[in-house]
Structure 1
Amino acid sequence: MTPDAQNRLFLLAHLPPLRLRAEADPGVTMCLDPSGLPSPASVLPRQLPSRSGTRTGLIAALLLLAVPAPAQDLGKGSRAEVPQRQAQEPDPGEPDRRLPFASTLDLRRATVERHLRGLRTTDPIAAAEAGRELAKHDYDTIFRSFLDGTGLDPEDAGDVLTAFIVLQWMVANDATAEPSPAALQAIRRRFVMPMAARPPLSQPASRAAFAEQVKLRSVLHHASWKAARQLGVMPRFLATLSNEFIPAAKLQALALTEAGLVPKGRANGQAGAQPPSRSSSTPSADARPPVADAPPARPAAPDAAPDVVAPPRHSANWDAVEGVYFRSTTGFGVGGMMIVDFEPLIVLKDGTYYETDDTALEDVDLAAERTAKPRRFGRWTRKGGGFVLTGADGKPADYALGDGSFFRAFPAAAGENMARSYRRLSGGGNSAMGGDVTVAIENRYDFRSDGRYGRGGSVGAVNSGASSGVGTAIGRRRASEGGQYRLDRHTLTLTGADGRSRRLFFAYGSQKDPPEIDRDMIFVGDSVFSADD
């Protein structure tokens, strides 16, 4: 997912945080087959609700077998019993059935109003705030950005549903690795196609309204996930999800592989995406989100780098490097204010470039990375003293070295020691645009001349209550850490007090023309820090 898309989501995530949930559908029950592997009938309607004036929440679970007439409200009334039917496993030899639908402006407006109408019955204040934000940000555009580069079609209801199933798994596991195309197609075949012959997917009119509800719920669910990560309240967020969603505990027992979702004990195939190693009770408030990726906070996420106890396996990667650079991009700062940010690029001799992540290049399997994260790669050509960079979206952009948007990055000397502190301040919210919510995130490194380092930070959020009359505030400090550090060109090795080490990408910024090293600016992973002096 692109940084701009994540920034737009971050705004939606604070309406206020953790309250963007519709009511659960009382006519839905979860079921799993005896092996623990979700079956295509993971959600079965116990009863058919009649059509009256009360909204039924979108059934967002492993298989959304909702059967309401999408353009009408569903609610209380007489109910007809529906026998539970076991969905048939699709024949691998059968052609994949496409499920196209037309996404119109009127339908999207009706979808938003349907969501807000239901939210007003339980939380009028949240509904008002959500209405203001959804009027500013097009959920269809945001959802389409999710699917960029995945091979999924935003105008196919089966692909829309596939994306939502995978998103729920990623949220439950706090996973940021992008699922492979093979994993996505496996999910579609296993869980979506058995539903293709039944409403709402089988009927074009109901299919379109159903798909729009899934798209909107996907955007809001992703936004709430980002807010929970930023505020460090992931366990609370997962524990308070409505039963519209697959229980997080069920999803945490599954691995997303090339064969789809399988119990972790049976996950022997190549993983399409795996959650980071973490404790569910100590989520990282500054980890880079999914799909993203990436801002809004563009925090440093060296916690995500692998533990290293052996020599790097891909040292030859540096032989393929033409140069290391960084370019300007936009992000959101405290209160949602638009800011200029920077991201590092590694330009390779084969005519491609790589938007480096946190891990040092010598620990990256570039071939595997191209498959798992294709949107981190693009192509480059020379143009005068600069470059033409063409991203995964196919759009070329001209960059002249030192023109204010594209710069050379400098390596550290082998064994170099620093005696400085560096800080990164980021955040989000909507107070910069007249809203009530302000989020601030600080990350800090203290490097000492004796080869030791310290790391800390904090996160805080304030809702002024200007709209609701009730103000709230939350804050916490990051648990401090420290140990030994070692610099060697573009690699920073951190060894903690527990003896565990991790190698991270590192670079200094540059200034002037011709470029000179700027030690007031460093990159740790894909995040930029400024000297705090």
Structure 2
Amino acid sequence: MKKKTAYLLLPALAGLLVGFAPASLHFPEATTPTAALPNRAPLAAPAVQGWFFRAVSGYPAAIAFEPVVLFENGEYYEVGEEPLESLNVPQSKSKRPMAWGTWQLKGQTYLLTNYKKQLSDYQLGSGNWFPAYAYTGAVKLKKGYEKVSGGNYGNGTNALSISKINFPDATHFTEGFNAGISTPNAAAGRTRNANGTYKLHGNTLELTYSDGRVVKKSFALGAKGAPARPTADIIFIGGDAYTDTE
């Protein structure tokens, strides 16, 4: 199994996804991430129009991917740790106002206006906007995934963190975390490991740790090809992009 570095993987992944053909906003039932639920609680998330992920620039990394949900009421949400099934909308807007905004579809262009009233435009097939999918069992997870972040922050400061999660079979997982930082005068690092069992349904990943803790996280499959189709080469856990290590 050959590891990929973040610097090689992201450009290659972006190149792979650029060829997407435009797709309708209404997904087939088999791959629709979240259907509208009857008798929804007033604080729950609105009915979902579709899941996507977009390319964003950041520091110090040049490019990253983040999942976005478009709601039928014209709002959008930058997906975070919490799954939509347990999202308290007023509380989320209070704690993470920057994650919320509004959207419109003009022709083939998605217009997203963030909480600062700044407008961004995206198009399927342009290399910056891609469909994301719920887990249905049709696409099997890979054995291992990782998320790499960090870089050179200037003034001799370098940091690197690697998060890994492995799915050796259909019910068990292991995860690990390694992080380090160095400056001209000092260096430090830490590691963390855990394991347990998991359940995956729709856009929710439920992890039951060996110490008894149960944690639910948002989840989505990425996409590839033209026309776009679900893939397990890239997945989104808790709002973060993980790429396979196979």
C-alpha change, 1:387 and 1:452, in structure 2 (3 Å) is same
Do the aligned partners of 1:490 and 1:506 also contact (CA within 8 Å) in 2?
yes
User: Which residue matches 1:382?
Assistant: 105
On the 8 A contact 1:461/1:473 being kept in 2, the answer is yes
| Match runs of 1:275-294 below 5 Å | none
Partner of 1:330: 57
What secondary structure, in the 3-state scheme, does the structure 1 residue paired with 2:230 have? strand
CA deviation string 1:480-532 (max 9, x = no partner): 11101111011101011122212110011112232111211010011111111
Contact 2:43 2:88 in 1 (8 A): no
Residue aligned with 1:367, SS: helix
Q: Tell me the CA shift for residue 371 of structure 1.
A: 3.6
Distance 1:517 1:367 in 2: 31
1:72-111 to 2 correspondences below 5 Å: none
**1:437 corresponding residue in structure 2:** 157
Residue by residue, what CA displacement relative to the aligned partner does 1:340-398 show, whole Å, maximum 9, x if unpaired?
01111110000010112101101111133234432221111111123110111112111
1:390-440 superposed Cα distances (whole Å, 9 cap, x missing partner): 111112111111311111001111597634110011114425xxx311111
Q: Which deviations, in whole Å up to 9, do the C-alpha atoms of 1:306-347 show, x marking residues without a partner?
A: xxxxxxx96995760000111111123xxx4x3201111110
Q: Which amino acid in 2 is paired with 1:409?
A: A
Q: Which residue of 2 aligns with 1:320?
A: 47
1:523 alignment partner AA? F
* CA distance, structure 1, for counterparts of residue 81 and residue 122 of structure 2: 24
Aligned to 1:427: 150
Structure-2 change in CA distance of 1:416 and 1:400 (3 Å): closer
Structure 2 regions of 5+ residues with no counterpart? 1-39
- Structure with the bigger percentage of strand: 2
1:449 aligned to 2:169? yes
Q: Where does residue 501 of structure 1 map in the other structure?
A: 214
Q: Which of 506, 518, 521 is the equivalent residue of 2:234?
A: 521
Residue identity matched to 1:381: Q
| Separation in 1, partners of 2:215, 2:85 | 12
* Identity percentage of aligned residues: 29
**Cα gap change, 1:320 to 1:450, in 2 (>3 Å):** closer
Please tell me whether the aligned partners of residues 315 and 363 of structure 1 are also in contact (alpha carbons under 8 angstroms): no
Query: After the TM superposition, which residues 439-478 of structure 1 pair with which residues of structure 2 at under 5 Å, given as runs?
Result: 439-463=159-183, 465=184, 471-478=185-192
Cα drift, residue 472 of structure 1: 3.1
User: Structure 1 residues 386 and 316, CA, compared in 2 at 3 Å: closer, same or farther?
Assistant: farther
Distance 2:133 2:42 in 1: 19
> One-letter code of the match for 1:413?
T
Larger Rg: 1
2:239 maps to a residue whose letter is D
Q: Which runs of 4+ in 1 moved over 4 A?
A: 313-319, 414-417
Q: Is the 8 A contact 1:346 1:356 kept in 2?
A: yes
The answer to whether structure 1 residue 400 and structure 2 residue 113 are counterparts is no
Write the deviation string for residues 245-273 of structure 1: whole angstroms up to 9, x where unpaired: xxxxxxxxxxxxxxxxxxxxxxxxxxxxx
2 CA distance for matches of 1:381 and 1:523?
Answer: 24
Q: State the partner residue of 1:530.
A: 243
Q: How far apart in 2 are the matches of 1:421 and 1:476? A: 21
Q: Aligned pairs, how many?
A: 207
Please give the alpha-carbon distance, in whole angstroms, between the structure 2 residues aligned to 1:378 and 1:500. Answer: 33
Counterparts of 2:68 and 2:53 in 1: how far apart (Å)? 5
Contact in 1 for aligned 2:151/2:159 (Cα 8 Å):
yes
- From the superposition, tell whether residues 404 and 414 of structure 1 become closer, same or farther in structure 2 (CA, over 3 Å): same
| Structure 1 gaps, min length 5 | 1-312, 466-470
1:391 corresponds to 2:111: no
Distance change (3 Å), C-alpha of 1:314 and 1:388 = same
| Residue of structure 1 equivalent to 2:65 | 342
- AA aligned to 2:195 is G
Q: Secondary structure at the match of 2:81?
A: coil
Counterpart residue type for residue 241 of structure 2: V
Aligned-residue RMSD, C-alpha: 2.3
TM-score by length of 1: 0.37
**What's the counterpart of residue 265 of structure 1?**
none
Q: Tell whether the 8 Å contact from 2:142 to 2:232 is kept in structure 1 after alignment.
A: no
SS of the equivalent of 1:327 reads strand
Task: Give TM-score, length-normalised by structure 2.
Answer: 0.77
1:449 offset after TM fit, Å?
Answer: 1.6
- Give 1:300's aligned residue: none
Residue type at the aligned position of 1:321: V
Q: 1:323 to 1:317 in 2, by over 3 A?
A: farther
List aligned pairs for 1:29-428, cutoff 5 A: 317=44, 320-332=47-59, 336=60, 338-413=61-136, 418-428=141-151
Match of 1:50 in 2: none
- Indicate how the Cα distance of structure 1 residues 315 and 519 shifts in structure 2: closer, same or farther if over 3 A, else same: farther
Amino acid at match of 1:476: R
8 Å CA contact 2:139, 2:230 repeated in 1: no
